């Protein structure tokens, strides 16, 4: 077990370095980052001086070696855009994203499981149809659009909630709903179909035949088997949210998280901040994956994690 | 009895609420800007978000009126020229920074030294690159020196914010700014808001609005929503199509002029007839209405900001004449030839739409037009890199110094970063204009450069774009043509 975790962490580190190297190379090869960073009015001398100052005049392998050397001391370099350490920016914004993702996906998971079970207990009944219909709707709306519609209805028309920003807990509601809507739909659908599958299996019939109440069969045996699939999807949703969806949601709601910061850093050619963000997010994703594997092992002892 | 006292209580409460809430509200505004300042250090970055805040905190030796006229700011009067490379500024008396440091010749010397220090690598050096130093004559007099004759030094000083020397050394100027201006810094809650309060001791009179809260909202639709929901009083960069929606909007001719730079040495475009045809084919008036809902002005035959020094107002905009354009293409034997046009998406207002509209106009006169919308860093490489020049490349060029040198050096001069021509004679005229201190002679040089540029159709000048602001009903403000968001010029009704 301990060895398994260590091995996975080692593999994970290689993955993170691989991702970071890719980003490192791509950001330096597509166009000239100095042009992105400096205003159009900058002179040729200014550009050259700037490239030299941040080490961009060195060959790529030298730059990468330097980057790794600094990384060993957890130094991601200075954010060129904000003129302060990149790590400081990342760890200032990361909690905001964590809060948003926890609220959005947490609510989605908590709602999806009961909704899916309710829908599955009477497949094709009226309740099931409403849930499936709503789920399809939730799946087909792009987040960007959902966000703007929610702002229009709940902030501009009804004035119940603020349009954007992060000052109070009320500010969290609309972005979290926007982020959680599609995962809620997907998780509900998966729970529903998994429960339907399980309920048709022989062990359920046996349990029912020997007189076990339906609720107990569902709660004890079926849910345990369904849980792995639902948690796998939930983990995937978490990864999707961290690696992309938060960019959209945070941009729409001006939520000062890591997704918004990432897109701004890319637009401004802030290589060092982009590298820091990619490294940290990739690291978090690796850890999520390992944690999920361990969780599965706890739920289903048949799973072998050696 | 009970009823009466209750009524009394409610009455007192209501009166109290009214008395405290209303006046406070009248003096406070919330401004939504497009991006959070990268730093609040006023001398390091070329950053619109930073300027929108710091323009209210810091001041410069020279200032501009709302119409763009250069007037003394912290200087007592316009500078005098001591010799070709030395300018002398008299300073206003008795001004202090918000922390009590005096604003004097030492402060100017320190401000100049700090911004030109190569170690600070200031991005603003693009506006200040001729400045070599400053020296104190006496407490209220300072001399600024340039590397060569620099006729636009006074305009440059409108770009250099004056910092308190002791605080810049010891304090955290990037996080907590201290200036001489009408507003004082209160707090910066990163990611969320910046708050400023009125400087009651401001030398030019305390401002009417007592508190400003800046919010950072990048998405145009969300900024609009915040205005409609009553959360914001002023929003920047309102899209033209939203103008009819908002309670109150104001537009002003801005700093940006859009243009297509033509590859004058390229196979098809080396013929001036083709380049003229490319100009005549474009219905600019229709684009002003269709793309900008009227919030743009057709450029006057050259791509220079109409309020910039050197603008040649004798040059007419290109006519829209498809017949003549077709004839010119036929004369040049260019029918069916391929023309490649490069643009980007999203960095400037409607930049992709402008490129697409123009490509359609060019197709109409019998050219085979290829549109290439590039990712921004790739686009910058096309615009300024060493590779082959595109037949046409779009750029919206901003003229902060309000001087024709900007667009001339960048686009018309053969060695300019975005230039696509190899006209040595024109380059020499521009070089000369840059160092000619005689105002009339200098203006004549620019007029001649632009006349030539127009005759040979080196570019396809497009539009001078307006800056549009959305405002709540209680705000009364006429925006400035230099795009500075000066809250002291705003007033609040009710």
- CATH number, residue B259: 3.10.105.10
Is B2 part of any domain? no
Mean pLDDT of the residues in chain A? 88
Whose structure tokens read 């920074």?
Answer: B97
CA distances in angstroms from B491 to A34, B48, B68, listed in the order given: 41, 23, 20
Q: Of the candidates A53, A163, A260, which has its C-beta nearest B121's C-beta?
A: A53
B349 and B408 in one domain? yes
pLDDT at B342: 97
B235 and B86 in one domain? no
Range of the domain at B42: 26-57+181-247+472-494
- Best of A28, A29, A30, A31 to mutate (most B CBs within 10 Å, chain B): A31
What are B198's strand-pairing partners?
A: B183
- In angstroms, the CA B475 to CA B181 distance is 21
Q: Which stretches of chain A are DSSP H helices?
A: 2-29, 33-37, 44-53, 60-72, 86-121, 126-140, 143-150, 170-199, 202-209, 214-216, 223-240, 246-252, 258-267, 271-299
B344 and B299 in one domain? yes
Is B174 part of any domain? no
Q: Which chain B residue has its CA at the smallest distance from A261's CA?
A: B191
B438 and B494 in one domain? no
The single-letter DSSP state of residue A155 is: I
Q: Consecutive 10-residue runs of chain B (494 residues): their mean pLDDT?
A: 40 40 65 93 91 96 91 96 94 96 96 93 88 96 94 93 96 95 96 95 95 95 94 95 93 94 94 96 96 94 93 94 96 95 92 96 96 90 89 94 91 92 95 91 96 96 95 93 92 84
pLDDT at A5: 85
B68 and B161 in one domain? yes
Whose structure tokens read 């760890």?
Answer: A91
Compute CA A170 distance to the chain's CA centroid, rounded to the nearest angstrom: 22
Q: Which chain A residue has its CA at the smallest distance from B228's CA?
A: A156
* Longest Cα separation, chain B: 100
Whose structure tokens read 């000052």?
Answer: A167
Query: How many Å lie between the alpha carbon of B379 and the closest alpha carbon of chain A?
Result: 8
B48 and B38 in one domain? yes
Give per-residue pLDDT as tens, A3-51: 888 888 899 989 988 998 898 888 888 777 788 888 787 877 888 888 8
Is B15 part of any domain? no
CB contact under 8 A, B127 and A41: yes
B215 and B83 in one domain? no
pLDDT at B494: 66
CATH number (domain holding residue B227): 3.40.190.10
- Best of B376, B410, B411 to mutate (most A CBs within 10 Å, chain A): B376
Which residues of A fall within a CB distance of 8 Å from B222? 148, 151, 163-164, 252-254
Whose structure tokens read 């709302």?
Answer: B66
Compute CA A203 distance to the chain's CA centroid, rounded to the nearest angstrom: 36
Alpha carbons within 13 angstroms on the beta-carbon side of residue B467 total: 18
- In angstroms, the CA B305 to CA B461 distance is 11
- In angstroms, the CA B135 to CA B116 distance is 14
- In angstroms, the CA B53 to CA B31 distance is 10
Beta carbons of B393 and B260 less than 8 angstroms apart: yes
Task: Provide the pLDDT confidence category of residue A305 given band limits of 50, 70 and 90.
Answer: low
Closest alpha carbon to A161 in A141, A146, A175: A175
B409 and B340 in one domain? yes
The single-letter DSSP state of residue A152 is: I
CB contact under 8 A, A156 and B225: yes
B353 and B213 in one domain? no
Q: How many cross-chain Cβ pairs, A to B, lie less than 8 Å apart?
A: 133
B159 and B267 in one domain? no
- Count of positions (residues) in chain A: 306
- In angstroms, the CA A285 to CA A277 distance is 12
- In angstroms, the CA B54 to CA B278 distance is 42
Does B41 reach chain A within 8 Å, measured CB to CB? Answer: yes
Q: Environment class of residue B36 by beta-carbon count within 10 Å: exposed (0-12), middle (13-18) or buried (19+)? A: buried
CB contact under 8 A, B378 and A32: no
Q: Which chain A residue has its CA at the smallest distance from B226's CA?
A: A163
Is B315 part of any domain? yes
Closest alpha carbon to B460 in B335, B294, B320: B320
Closest alpha carbon to B295 in B233, B350, B247, B346: B350
pTM: 0.88
Q: Is the pLDDT of residue A56 over 90?
A: no
B331 and B233 in one domain? no
Mean pLDDT of A220-233: 86
Of the two residues A212 and B139, the one the predictor is more confident about is: B139
Q: Of the candidates A84, A167, A267, which has its C-beta nearest B192's C-beta?
A: A167
Is B63 part of any domain? yes
Give per-residue pLDDT as tens, A63-114: 888 888 888 888 888 888 888 899 999 999 999 999 999 999 999 999 999 9
Query: Which domains are delineated in chain A?
Result: 86-299 (1.10.3720.10)
Whose structure tokens read 């774009």?
Answer: B465
Provide the number of structural domains found in chain B. 3
Is B160 part of any domain? yes
Contacting residues for B37 by C-beta, under 8 A, at least 6 apart: B47, B49, B50, B52, B53, B54, B194
Q: Which chain B residue has its CA at the smallest distance from A145's CA?
A: B221
The helix-helix angle for A258-267 and A271-299 (nearest 10°) equals: 150
Does B159 reach chain A within 8 Å, measured CB to CB? Answer: no
Q: Environment class of residue A45 by beta-carbon count within 10 Å: exposed (0-12), middle (13-18) or buried (19+)? A: exposed
CB contact under 8 A, A93 and B129: no
Q: Distance between terminal CA atoms of chain A?
A: 6
CB contact under 8 A, B410 and A41: yes
pLDDT at A221: 79
Q: Environment class of residue B108 by beta-carbon count within 10 Å: exposed (0-12), middle (13-18) or buried (19+)? A: buried
Q: A33: which 2 tokens?
A: 């980052």
Closest alpha carbon to B282 in B173, B367, B399, B389: B367
* B29: three-class secondary structure by DSSP: strand
B482 and B455 in one domain? no
Give per-residue pLDDT as tens, A257-290: 999 999 999 888 888 999 999 999 999 999 999 9
Is B20 part of any domain? no
Contacting residues for B13 by C-beta, under 8 A, at least 6 apart: none
CATH number (domain holding residue B158): 3.90.76.10
∠ CA B395-B220-A267, nearest 5°, is: 50
Partner B, chain A 246-275, Cβ-Cβ below 8 Å: 251-254, 256, 260, 264, 267-269
């Amino acid at each position: 077990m301990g060895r398994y975790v260590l091995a996975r962490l080692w593999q994970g580190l290689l993955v993170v370095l691989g991702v970071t190297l890719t980003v490192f190379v791509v950001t330096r090869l597509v166009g000239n980052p100095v042009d992105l960073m400096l205003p159009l009015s900058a002179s040729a001398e200014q550009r050259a001086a700037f490239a030299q100052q941040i080490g961009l005049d060195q060959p790529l392998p030298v730059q990468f070696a330097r980057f790794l050397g600094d990384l060993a001391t957890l130094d991601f370099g200075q954010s060129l855009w904000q003129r302060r350490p990149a790590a400081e920016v990342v760890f200032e914004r990361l909690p905001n994203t964590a809060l948003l993702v926890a609220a959005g996906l947490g609510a989605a998971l908590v709602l999806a499981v009961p909704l899916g079970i309710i829908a599955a207990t009477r497949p094709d009944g009226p309740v099931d149809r409403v849930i499936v219909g709503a789920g399809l709707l939730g799946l087909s709306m792009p987040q960007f659009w959902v966000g703007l519609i929610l702002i229009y209805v709940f902030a501009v028309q009804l004035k119940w909630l603020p349009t954007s920003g992060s000052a109070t807990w009320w500010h969290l509601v609309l972005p979290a709903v926007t982020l959680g809507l599609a995962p809620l739909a997907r998780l509900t659908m998966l729970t529903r179909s998994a429960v339907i599958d399980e309920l048709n299996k022989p062990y359920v019939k046996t349990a029912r035949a020997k007189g076990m109440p339906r609720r107990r069969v569902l709660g004890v045996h079926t849910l345990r088997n369904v849980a792995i699939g639902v948690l796998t999807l939930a983990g995937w949703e978490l990864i999707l949210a961290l690696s992309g969806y938060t960019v959209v949601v945070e941009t729409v709601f001006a939520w000062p998280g890591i997704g918004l910061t990432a897109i701004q850093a890319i637009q401004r050619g802030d290589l060092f901040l982009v590298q820091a963000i990619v490294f940290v997010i990739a690291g978090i994703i690796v850890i999520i994956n390992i944690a999920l594997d361990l969780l599965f092992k706890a739920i289903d002892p048949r799973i072998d994690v050696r | 009895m009970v009823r009466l006292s209750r009524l009394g209580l409610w009455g007192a409460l209501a009166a109290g609420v009214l008395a405290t809430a209303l006046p406070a509200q009248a003096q406070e505004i919330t401004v939504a800007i497009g991006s959070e300042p990268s730093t609040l250090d006023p001398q390091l970055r070329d950053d619109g978000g930073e300027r929108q805040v710091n323009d209210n905190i810091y001041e410069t030796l020279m200032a501009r009126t709302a119409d763009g006229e250069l007037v003394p700011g912290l200087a007592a009067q316009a500078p005098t020229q001591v010799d070709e490379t030395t300018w002398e500024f008299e300073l206003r008396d008795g001004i202090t920074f918000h922390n009590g440091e005096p604003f004097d010749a030492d402060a100017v010397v320190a401000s100049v030294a700090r911004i030109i220090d190569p170690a600070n690598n200031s991005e603003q050096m693009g506006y200040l690159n001729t400045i070599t130093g400053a020296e104190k004559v006496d407490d209220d007099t300072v001399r600024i020196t340039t590397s060569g004759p620099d006729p636009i030094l006074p305009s440059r000083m409108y770009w250099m914010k004056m910092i308190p020397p002791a605080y810049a050394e010891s304090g955290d100027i990037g996080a907590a700014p201290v200036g001489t201006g009408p507003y004082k810094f209160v707090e910066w809650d990163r990611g969320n808001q910046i708050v400023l309060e009125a400087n009651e001791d401001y030398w030019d009179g305390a401002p009417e609005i007592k508190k400003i809260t800046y919010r950072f909202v990048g998405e145009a639709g969300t900024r609009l929503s915040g205005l409609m929901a009553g959360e914001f009083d002023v929003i920047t960069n309102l899209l033209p199509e939203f103008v009819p929606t908002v309670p109150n909007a104001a537009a002003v001719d801005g700093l940006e002029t859009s243009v297509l730079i033509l590859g004058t040495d390229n196979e098809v475009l080396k013929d001036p007839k083709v380049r003229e045809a490319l100009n005549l084919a474009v219905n600019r008036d229709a684009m002003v209405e269709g793309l900008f809902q009227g919030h743009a002005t057709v450029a006057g035959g050259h791509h220079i900001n109409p309020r910039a020094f050197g603008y040649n107002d004798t040059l007419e905009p290109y006519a829209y004449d498809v017949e003549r354009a077709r004839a010119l293409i036929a004369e040049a034997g260019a029918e069916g030839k391929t023309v490649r046009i490069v643009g980007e998406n999203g960095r400037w207002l409607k930049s992709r739409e402008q490129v697409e509209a123009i490509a359609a106009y060019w197709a109409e006169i019998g050219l085979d037009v290829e549109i290439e919308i590039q990712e921004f860093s790739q686009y910058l490489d096309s615009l300024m890199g060493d590779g082959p020049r595109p037949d046409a490349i779009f750029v919206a060029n901003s003229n902060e110094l309000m001087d024709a040198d900007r667009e001339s050096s960048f686009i018309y001069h053969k060695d300019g970063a975005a230039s696509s021509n190899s006209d040595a004679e024109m380059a020499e005229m521009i070089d000369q204009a840059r160092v000619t201190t005689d105002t009339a002679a200098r203006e004549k040089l620019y007029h001649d450069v632009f006349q030539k540029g127009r005759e040979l159709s080196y570019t396809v000048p497009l539009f001078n774009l307006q800056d549009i602001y959305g405002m709540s009903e209680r705000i009364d403000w006429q925006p400035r043509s230099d795009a500075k968001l000066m809250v002291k010029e705003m007033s609040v009704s009710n």
